[in-house]
Amino acid sequence: MDTKIDDTIVAISTPIGESAIGIVRMSGGSSLKIADRIFKGKDGILPSKFKSHTIRYGWIRNKAKPIDEVLLTLMRAPKTYTREDIVEISSHGGAVSLRKILELVINCGARLAEPGEFTKRAFLNGRIDLAKAEAVLDIIRAKTDTALKLGVEQLSGGLSNKIKSIRKELIDILAHIEADIDFCEEDIETNSRKILVNKINNVSKQLEVIILDSQKSNFFREGIKVTICGRPNVGKSSLLNAILRKERAIVTPIAGTTRDIIEEFINLGGVGIRLVDTAGVVKPKDLIEHHAVRLAKNSIALSDIVLLVFDSSQKLTQRDFHLIKELKGKDVIAVLNKIDLPQRIQIGKIRKEFKKIVSVSSLKQKNIDKLEKAIAGFVYKGKVISSEGLITTNARQIGEIKQARDLLDKAKNSFIKELSLEFVALDLKLALDCLGRITGEAVDSAILDKIFSEFCIGK
Ligand SMILES: Nc1nc2c(ncn2[C@@H]2O[C@H](COP(=O)(O)OP(=O)(O)OP(=O)(O)O)[C@@H](O)[C@H]2O)c(=O)[nH]1
Ligand SMILES: [Mg+2]
């Protein structure tokens, strides 16, 4: 890792494209000096003389040539995002104006920031730990209110505090064991061993809770996958369009219209739903249909909820029964479509198979809200309950936590088998390192580079 952070970085921090305003952000020791060279306020006072955390109106100029009319925000270290001097230039949001200001700042000695480098500096300068830095990414990427709320909780220390307190418990246990190592091992009372095993167990359980929480919170972060399936022509694509309230998938009276997987994201009461329409083929006749079936099956296998659509204006067919059998064990909502037509479906047979049944008309947009409520009901009362107090973790963090838990199990077994305490101590130390990599106390440069490379430039 390039830990040299004495240079000044700059980036356009707002999306490129036409917008009302755009921001060029600088961070580092030369920020004020550079601002002095390029900014001209009404009263002629140099930015380096401004009070900290103030905004001034003026012009960005290249020598005497005006580039854009701006507001300049000046924040002196250490009370800033990076703990360094920060200057933000809010200009008119055109791409050309922003790029010209960026070039000018670079010509004055700043360097173009790498993705996530501002946040990386906040971490390297000790303002936030690594788990909080990663929460910033969650906040940027949040697609629903709940995902945003979880990200914000994380940024205020949800995971960090938990990991810190677990590490403290581990360090206490380790100190105890290392003190024991210095004595003759035979002198360690069985009682003392028992107490330590219990303590390790307790830590292990806390890690287990975080692992469970992560599975739940993933529903909110990544969204829930809901796949629409059913035999051809029952109205799957019509249902997708009805839920999306737009004509996304092609609908025709021809059986076998949909071949590909169509996936769209919707926000249902704060929960992100990845809604997937599939082909209705059951027995493929050619190569295209063969792939269509394969994709549909994959999607169903990875789904949290399946909407099995029936055409309620017709009697159940062999294909319907085939699908009912295939979906045994999955969380299914039976959707009886086409209730605007005369009803012929054997409703008793459906009731015998499914607890959740919703009758709709995709064509007439009838009862779509009821179906949405049924999906949301699954999320809140089924396996995913509530986002309250959930600690969220990303794949990297959960990997470290699982490894720490396995090491603790190993340590516990060494203890029970009365192996040398050195073994126990070693595994506990390794577990501590795993947890340290979450908050960033023990993390190498390659991991840091990987984490921050996922950020956008300017954050
Ligand atoms: N009357 C009525 N017709 C509907 C309804 N929903 C869909 N249809 C009609 O049923 C036909 C098939 O609809 P699609 O949405 O293409 O059905 P699908 O299940 O996606 O079909 P495949 O992609 O071929 O598997 C079309 O003619 C739709 O207009 C409904 O609620 N009522
Ligand atoms: Mg279709």
Q: Please give all residues whose beta carbon lies within 6 A of any atom in ligand 1, as ranges.
A: 230, 232-238, 251-253, 255-258, 279-280, 337-338, 340-341, 361-363
pLDDT the model gives residue 2: 44
Q: Which pLDDT score, from 0 to 100, does residue 272 have?
A: 82
Domains and CATH numbers, the chain: 9-129 (3.30.1360.120), 144-219+392-438 (1.20.120.430), 222-381 (3.40.50.300)
> Which residue among 283, 317, 340, 362 is best mutated to probe the pocket of ligand 1, counting the most ligand atoms within 8 A of its Cβ?
362
Q: Among 233, 246, 310, say which to mutate for ligand 1: greatest number of ligand atoms within 8 Å of CB.
A: 233
Question: 158: which 2 tokens?
Answer: 């949800």
Q: What is the pLDDT of residue 129?
A: 93
User: What is the 3-state secondary structure of the chain?
Assistant: CCCCCCCCEEEECCCCCCCCEEEEEEECCCHHHHHHHHEEECCCCCHHHCCCCEEEEEEEEECCEEEEEEEEEEECCCCCCCCCCEEEEEEECCHHHHHHHHHHHHHCCCEECCECHHHHHHHHCCCCCHHHHHHHHHHHHCCCHHHHHHHHHHHCCHHHHHHHHHHHHHHHHHHHHHHHHHCCHHHCCHHHHHHHHHHHHHHHHHHHHHHHHHHHHHHHHHCEEEEEECCCCCCHHHHHHHHHCCCCCCCCCCCCCCCCCEEEEEEECCEEEEEEECCCCCCCCCHHHHHHHHHHHHHHHCCCEEEEEEECCCCCCHHHHHHHHHCCCCCEEEEEECCCCCCCCCHHHHHHHCCCEEECECCCCECHHHHHHHHHHHHHHCCCCCCCCCCCCCHHHHHHHHHHHHHHHHHHHHHHCCCCHHHHHHHHHHHHHHHHHHHCCCCCHHHHHHHHHCCCECC
Task: Check residue 99 and give its pLDDT.
Answer: 94
Report CA(222)–ligand 1 centroid distance (Å). 30
Q: What is the pLDDT along the chain (459 residues), one digit of tens a residue?
A: 444 568 999 999 998 878 889 999 999 999 999 999 999 998 899 999 999 999 999 999 999 899 999 999 999 999 999 999 999 999 998 888 999 999 999 999 999 999 999 999 999 999 999 999 999 988 888 887 778 888 888 888 889 999 999 999 999 999 988 887 776 655 566 667 788 899 999 999 999 999 988 877 777 777 789 999 999 999 999 999 999 999 999 999 888 889 889 999 998 877 788 999 999 877 788 888 889 889 999 899 888 899 999 999 999 999 999 999 999 988 899 999 999 999 999 999 999 999 999 999 999 999 999 999 999 887 765 554 566 777 888 889 999 999 999 999 999 998 888 888 889 999 999 999 999 999 998 888 888 888 888 888 888
Residue 106 identity: I
pLDDT for the residue 4 = 55
Q: How far is the CA of 263 from the centre of ligand 1 (A)?
A: 18
- pLDDT at res. 187: 58
Whole-number Å distance, alpha carbon 291 to ligand 1 midpoint, is 22
Q: Minimum-distance ligand to the CA of 337?
A: 1
pLDDT, residue 1, reads 40
* pLDDT score at 189: 65
Q: How far is the CA of 262 from the centre of ligand 2 (A)?
A: 9
